[in-house]
Amino acid sequence: MSRRLVLLCGAALLVLATGCNTRTPLRWEIPAGYVGWTVVQYESATCAAFPLDSGYKVIRLNERGVACTSEKLEAGEAFDRYLYVENTGHTSEIDQGTLVWAGVYFSHTKREFHFIGSEADYHASPDNSQTVDQRCSADPNC
């Protein structure tokens, strides 16, 4: 009985220590004030892997909200962070509950999309993930 208790306690501590992440968490670094669709192109031979910093893979979006990587999209769950980054390097957390919308991945184009902005901004956007994906297929610098 006591051995079973020790094993259960050990398993509980392992879950707490890993924070329930089943993949490497991402830290999205977005230019301060950016509102609109973000695009991450995965599995691009011309792009570098995401850098690692403090246990996070870092996605640095350019001023158009675009990034690319040679990596495959990693499946699983994790506690990702979204940050606005000022030109000075100062960061502020983006509230995922009110300012991050419509996370979607298209396996046929290997692109991931999110909308950054208020719910009103999201609903007012003339685009959606499909129209942005089509534009990116025509112009890789979308």
**pLDDT of 6 higher than 50:** no
pTM for this structure? 0.83
20-24, 71-75, 79-83: which has the minimum mean pLDDT? 20-24
**Alpha-carbon gap, residue 72 to 128, rounded angstroms:** 23
Per-residue pLDDT tens for 32-76? Answer: 999 999 999 999 999 999 999 999 999 999 999 999 999 999 999
Length of the chain: 142
**pLDDT of 83 higher than 80:** yes
Average model confidence (pLDDT) across the chain: 89
Q: If you ran DSSP here, which 8-state letter would residue 46 be given?
A: T
